[in-house]
Amino acid sequence: MGSPCELVLQSPDAARLAAAARAAESEVLRLEAKYSRYRDDSVTAAINRSAGSPDGLVVDDETAALLDYADVAHRESGGRFDISSGVLRRAWDFRSGQLPSQVQIDALLPLVGWARLRWQRPTLVLPRPGMELDFGGYVKEYAADAAANQCRLLGVTQGYVELGGDVRIVGPQADGRPWRVGIRDPRRPEQALAVVGLSAGGIATSGDYERFMIVDGRRYSHLLDPRTGWPVQAYASVSVMAPQALVAGTASTTAMLLGAPEGEKWLDSLGLPGLIVDSLGGITELGRRDSGHSTIEMLRQPAPCFISFTFAQ
């Protein structure tokens, strides 16, 4: 998954524990191999090689389900969540410290747009040569859900899966306590600014601190608006909790892409709890106004964030 990953499981049955760990790891590796854009033998590579073919490509059921989900996410986000926008990375090199020209971006925009492709299950057509799909925006969270499900199928019901900072809970700790999951401070990513206790579901964070560059004092992140080809700049990070890591990840990314105040309003409409940190450091907690209580514990003093961002007491 191109990022630090961790699996923590608890069970009195050592053999069952080992089997669940192997199954979870195998599931993550299977999905990485299947959908990585860095592998020539992946489904993603096959889809992208088909660009320009009028016949398109017939895909398997799992890929069809992911495409159906992308279609819904695109529609519900007003076109912001768009898995065809990865082609814009041809213009953006965040290691260079140099902005692309508008000419470079304008040359790529005709290749961007979910509405431009034709998806009629099980056939996908990318009509223009050079078009691409990139499942990287949500397959990591899908893999976390799938790995957690493998554990439960094998009878392990305590633990969590963490893939690159996105967490899916298998079940509460063996003594019934929730797992304490840290939310990164986007301007000090090695530290947590808040902690949330989770016994089920997932949490995901999208932010402008993983891949970015600062040019003339302005921060440009890897989160690109598919309509303009330029980075969004309203929020520093958005963390969302949901019943599945997939939903949490899609919601946090969409809120980042919608920007302020639309992102907050959109999350409120979904009723999902979370935390928004704006570009000036202001913090907005979601999901407490109706319930009357907070689901998130703000830290008075920043705490170290380890790879898992998880604090078990």
Position 306 scores a pLDDT of 44
Position 233 scores a pLDDT of 85
Give residue-wise pLDDT tens across range 241-260. Answer: 999 999 999 999 999 999 99
Angstrom distance (rounded) from CA 85 to CA 89: 8
Amino acid identity at 47: I
Angstrom distance (rounded) from CA 3 to CA 59: 27
Q: How far is CA 190 from CA 74, 139, 182, 229, in A?
A: 32, 24, 11, 29
Q: How far is CA 55 from CA 58, 111, 114, 132, in A?
A: 9, 18, 17, 16
CATH architecture of 43-137: Orthogonal Bundle (1.10)
Position 301 scores a pLDDT of 61
Using pLDDT thresholds of 50, 70 and 90, give the confidence band for residue 47. very high
Residue 294 has pLDDT above 60, yes or no: no
Position 310 scores a pLDDT of 46
Residue 52 has pLDDT above 80, yes or no: yes
| Tokens read off for 33 | 């191999």
Residue 290 has pLDDT above 60, yes or no: no
CATH code for the structural domain at 139-311: 3.10.520.10
Report, as an integer, the average pLDDT of 154-161.
98
Give residue-wise pLDDT tens across range 66-95. Answer: 999 999 999 999 999 999 999 999 999 999
169 forms bridges with which residues in the sheet? 160
Residue 165 has pLDDT above 60, yes or no: yes
Q: 3-state DSSP call for residue 156?
A: coil
Q: How far is CA 231 from CA 4, 36, 151, 213, 252, in A?
A: 25, 23, 38, 11, 16
| Per-domain residue ranges of the chain | 43-137, 139-311
Residue 46 has pLDDT above 50, yes or no: yes
What DSSP character marks residue 165? T
286 forms bridges with which residues in the sheet? 274
Q: What percent of the chain has pLDDT over 90?
A: 86
Position 142 scores a pLDDT of 98
Q: 3-state DSSP call for residue 285?
A: strand
Report, as an integer, the average pLDDT of 267-288.
91
pTM attached to this predicted model: 0.93
